[in-house]
Structure 1
Amino acid sequence: MSLQTNAMAEAIELARHARLDTAPNPRVGCVLLDERGGVIGRGATQAVGGPHAEVMALRDAQAKGLSVIGATAFVTLEPCSHHGRTGPCCDALAAAGVRKVVASLADPNPLVSGQGFERLRAAGIDVEIGPGAEEARELNLGFFSRMIRKTPWVRLKVAASLDGKTALPDGTSQWITSEAARADGHAWRARAGAVLTGVGTVLEDDPRLDVRLAETPRQPPLVVVDSQLQTPPAARIFEPARPVWIYAAAPDAAAQAALEARGATVRYLPNPHSKVDLAAVLRDLAAREVNELHVEAGHKLNGSLLREGLVDELLLYLAPKLMGDGLGIANQPHAAGALTRLDQALALEFKSFEGLGPDLRIVARIAGRDRF
């Protein structure tokens, strides 16, 4: 493996380790090599408002007393070129005397989108684009989705038996899968920009829907789809310290006041059928800088999201059990209603399989959803 390949692989690994910290910014890693190919600095993007990966790598080299003049920076995304919460990284690299920048991808943010590369070249810095592109983009699918599609990347989490049942006929669902699978599910919650559920789940299960079984630097906001504002102010979703965003269809001043007294933010986004406009919710969440949306809901809301084409991938935990009668993953998930041909089924692509204790975790992506 070449020095260049090694350096970019390390930069991607730095970005991967930062995946819980950077939101809403992209997950970015940077490695600096001196002219002999030795590593002189490493860095990853910090929590929002903190330094980006390039600045962290420059500071790392400085702390070691190493010069970066003539160095090559391997970075997993185009260095930013605008003044946002921090200054432009392309200017920091140029001021430090870096000779070359190797970047995996152009930044999809329209405030950058090639301008960082242009400013680097204008400063006399060589620019190479492409190494590690697939891995770097996969790490930041949510950020790319928000910038390009103006909606978050939507991941629907389901725990089910081997025959696809998520609950008994009476709604009992705790616990179909093992502790190992539940802990893994909490880790996926932790990486999300927000967690979404429906009021039915709140009323039936009274869950907290926070991150408890995995390490996290923050609790992601909770989103509740609640057309008639039925969420009880005493619900356990208000116990964790985090934002709670409730989307409703029909105004109810008294219910809204009671929920806002618990710290919730209520927004009305009705569709023509007096239900919450789910597509509008996704656009609003993107405006709130949510990159990845983690859905844990019941079969009705799951079905609505799938039927409207709003789900990008499924995070499916399968327990080695057969339950027979019970509730399924989604109620009426197809826009055409009941299927009459097998080729009408919603096609998915398996992305990964992993055993977790006695259970199996499958990540399956809606075919073609990542091509934007």
Structure 2
Amino acid sequence: MNKSALMERAVHLALKGSFTTRENPNVGCLIYKSGMILSEGWHVAPGSNHAEVNAILNAESKFKDSTKDVLDGSSLFVTLEPCSTEKRTPPCTDLIQKYSFKEIIYMQSDPSQKGSDILKEKGFGIERLSLNNSVLNNGFFKHLAEGKPYVRAKIACSMDGKIAFKNNNEQWITTQASRKDGYSYRAISGAIITGSGTLETDNPLLNVRLEEAVNDQDFKQPLKALFTTKSYIDSNKKFFKDNSRKIIFTNNENLEMQICETLNTEIVRVESDANQISIPSVLNYLGSINIKDVLLEAGPRLISSFIDSNLIDEYIFYIAPKVLGNKANSFYTNKNLEGILNSPDLEIVEEKSIGRDLKLVLRKKNAS
């Protein structure tokens, strides 16, 4: 296997932690020598061993007293530069130095760490190997650089960009397969954002129901964030009926406080922007509580506000082969679907069919 293929394998390992690392980066690691992968590991959850440590510990478990000899002259591939500081776990550079690796090959640099410099000074070969269109750690890097989360918007719409039926007699525009695919984005998010209009119209639960996520003992339901300018919120809505943490962001001083009696719900008052909730203020607040990735699942008004503020880093479109015309509302009133898809500021990073629907993922060209 060549180096790129080995790093691709490390990326595959990193993604095994997608639903559980949450505020931590997804990291995968493998140890390679003489045409064989000797050991593998990945980071599972905050506070647990890092990927490099798990790969080395797995090698120790496998090779017992022969571990040092077996790993002598091997190559350690890791998707993120090894950490050099102690937080909840010791620095990975300490354990790496106990073995005679020929080289440490990493994919992503971590500006908060000096692992590559430390290991290079200790005589290890160091190489950075980048892969195009890496799907790893956009939220981690944006939060590191700006203190704010990476924003994904999930939009299920028709070919003419319609998102919600006006009479609400029909609830779904796209197929069940598309909806299931979309649930994975909830599972990788630290928070899900919606608005009070969606709460009233659709009465969504907005939780994660993917079996592979909820059956994992390290998985936690994401925070649910509600935008409202109203003075009353019905606490009997499904949104409030689970144990996940919930925050209501409002600029209305008269919002009834009885909502706080609902399980695990708090009210956060934020600044106004033209009588609307300041989205940057909300994103700054979420960043301050260590939320790295958010998913926007909302109606046209809130989606349009995010678009107009240029605060969406990634769009996930599920487009049904339908034209709904005047039967439904557009997801964005200031520009049609084609205008968004052809924006010079966005690039298509994924395009595939899901049943009869088309999935398109577009990312800001300067996104983390």
Instruction: Report the TM-score when normalising by structure 1.
Output: 0.88
SS at match of 1:139: coil
The answer to whether 1:353 aligns with 2:356 is no
Show structure 1 runs of 4+ deviating over 6 A: none
Matching residue of 1:11:
10
Checking the alignment, whether the CA contact within 8 Å between 2:240 and 2:262 is kept in structure 1 is no
Matching residue of 1:53:
51
Matching residue of 1:219:
221
Closer, same or farther: CA 281–154 of 1 in aligned 2, 3 Å? same
Match of 1:152 among 129, 144, 149: 149
Identity %: 31
Matching residue of 1:337:
none
Closer, same or farther: CA 173–97 of 1 in aligned 2, 3 Å? farther
Closer, same or farther: CA 171–300 of 1 in aligned 2, 3 Å? farther
Matches within 5 A, 1:72-91: 72-91=75-94
1:57 shift after superposition: 0.2
Match of 1:179 among 166, 176, 179: 176
Spell out, residue by residue over 1:259-313, the C-alpha distance to the aligned partner (whole angstroms, 9 max, x if none): 3443212211122433211011111112222222111000000000000111112
* Unmatched 5+ stretches in structure 1: 335-341
Closer, same or farther: CA 134–231 of 1 in aligned 2, 3 Å? farther
Checking the alignment, whether the CA contact within 8 Å between 1:306 and 1:333 is kept in structure 2 is no
Checking the alignment, whether the CA contact within 8 Å between 1:250 and 1:270 is kept in structure 2 is no
Spell out, residue by residue over 1:301-338, the C-alpha distance to the aligned partner (whole angstroms, 9 max, x if none): 0000000111112111111122110200123369xxxx
Return 186-195 or 272-281, whichever deviates more: 272-281
Matching residue of 1:279:
280
Matches within 5 A, 1:36-185: 36-65=34-63, 66-67=67-68, 68-108=71-111, 110=112, 112=113, 115-129=114-128, 131-136=129-134, 138-172=135-169, 174-185=171-182
Matching residue of 1:339:
none
Closer, same or farther: CA 292–229 of 1 in aligned 2, 3 Å? farther
Matches within 5 A, 1:283-322: 283-322=284-323
1:162 shift after superposition: 1.6
Query: d(CA) in 2 for partners of 1:275 and 1:360?
Result: 33
Matching residue of 2:216:
none
Higher strand share: 2
Query: d(CA) in 2 for partners of 1:127 and 1:71?
Result: 13
Query: d(CA) in 1 for partners of 2:210 and 2:39?
Result: 33
Instruction: Report the TM-score when normalising by structure 2.
Output: 0.89
Matches within 5 A, 1:230-241: 230-241=232-243
1:78 shift after superposition: 0.4
Query: d(CA) in 2 for partners of 1:128 and 1:149?
Result: 27
The answer to whether 1:269 aligns with 2:270 is yes
The answer to whether 1:365 aligns with 2:366 is no
Query: d(CA) in 1 for partners of 2:122 and 2:169?
Result: 63
Query: d(CA) in 2 for partners of 1:121 and 1:229?
Result: 59
Query: d(CA) in 2 for partners of 1:193 and 1:93?
Result: 31
Return 119-128 or 77-86, whichever deviates more: 119-128
1:180 shift after superposition: 0.5
Closer, same or farther: CA 299–71 of 1 in aligned 2, 3 Å? same
The answer to whether 1:204 aligns with 2:201 is yes
Spell out, residue by residue over 1:16-38, the C-alpha distance to the aligned partner (whole angstroms, 9 max, x if none): 2322221111111111123x343
Checking the alignment, whether the CA contact within 8 Å between 1:249 and 1:275 is kept in structure 2 is yes
Q: Which has the higher contact order (CA 8 A, sep 6+)?
A: 2
1:369 shift after superposition: 3.4
Query: d(CA) in 2 for partners of 1:135 and 1:11?
Result: 15
SS at match of 2:361: strand
RMSD, aligned α-carbons: 2.2
SS at match of 1:134: coil
* Unmatched 5+ stretches in structure 2: 214-218
1:53 shift after superposition: 0.5
Checking the alignment, whether the CA contact within 8 Å between 2:233 and 2:259 is kept in structure 1 is no
Checking the alignment, whether the CA contact within 8 Å between 1:31 and 1:41 is kept in structure 2 is yes
Matching residue of 2:191:
194
Read off the aligned partner of 1:94 and give its amino acid letter. Answer: Q
SS at match of 1:64: helix
Closer, same or farther: CA 288–333 of 1 in aligned 2, 3 Å? farther
Closer, same or farther: CA 243–104 of 1 in aligned 2, 3 Å? same
Closer, same or farther: CA 165–239 of 1 in aligned 2, 3 Å? same
Checking the alignment, whether the CA contact within 8 Å between 1:164 and 1:329 is kept in structure 2 is yes
